[in-house]
Amino acid sequence: MISKSFVPIEDSRRTLAAQVQERIREAILKQTLKAGERIDQNKLAEQLQVSMAPIREALKGLEAEGLVMIQPRRGAFVVEVSISDMDKLYFTRGLIEGEAIYHAVPYLTDTHFAELQEMIDAMRLATSINDISTYIALNHQFHVHIYSVLDNPHLLQVIQTLWERSELYRFRYMFMTRDTESIHQEHDGILEACRLRDQKLSKERAQEHIHLTQRGLHDQLKGDASKVITRHEQ
């Protein structure tokens, strides 16, 4: 069911479709729209006070991000999370981002290090007030800031696509009971290795950071699956 929390789109320099896409994405990540749920496009258009055209365009964009599945004659559905898909996704991210940071380290400057430290501090503040959306945005900014020094738009596009596919999993992870300070310490470790100009250590810590997130998600998704089985057996 579409949440009544959707408020009308306001005019801005951004296109209506982009604003609609952001609203739907946020509802999916916060699980206001549940996995497997059919998205009522007519009700969504009514609540956002827009025509069907930006709704359809937004859903196509979300389909490209891997958050929505559009089925002919059936409509649009929120993609259900999958342990297999998540494992493959994070395996791919580990390979690509590990190589990216390895090659980026020699190009990082003291200015970059200061900016990255500010991002870590801001992430700590965000999690201290349970502002998960801000944390996720800063987390993305932190990692991409490192990769951007390679000035390789093709690489960044691949990484961006993988990150968009990871959003649903990452948002779930931040609501787990795992101590958020341990996540910040992993970022501290990555920055420390970069400051040491140690390419091998930077790669190892970045890949371990991704692996720990994957492992935590794996345990959580297995737990969710067992709950579903238990309910079905009752």
Contact in structure between 77 and 37 (CB atoms under 8 Å): yes
Query: Using CA atoms, how far apart are residues 75 and 78, in angstroms rounded to an integer?
Result: 10
Q: How confident is the model at residue 93 (pLDDT cuts 50, 70, 90)?
A: very high
pLDDT digits (tens, 9 = 90+) for 127-148: 998 887 788 889 999 999 999 9
Question: Which of residues 50, 78, 106 is at a domain's end?
Answer: 78
Q: Please name every residue paired with 71 in a beta bridge, in sequence order, or none if there are none.
A: 75
Q: 97 and 213 share a domain?
A: yes
Say yes or no: 56 and 153 in one domain.
Answer: no
Do 139 and 217 belong to one domain? Answer: yes
By residue range, what is the domain housing residue 36?
Answer: 16-78
Mean pLDDT within 69-84: 89
Q: Give the end of a domain, one of 78, 100, 130.
A: 78
pLDDT of residue 16: 87
User: Pick from 78, 100, 119: which residue ends a domain?
Assistant: 78
pLDDT digits (tens, 9 = 90+) for 36-68: 899 999 999 999 999 999 999 999 988 877 789
pLDDT of residue 132: 77
Looking at the structure, tell me whether residues 63 and 102 fall in a common domain. Answer: no
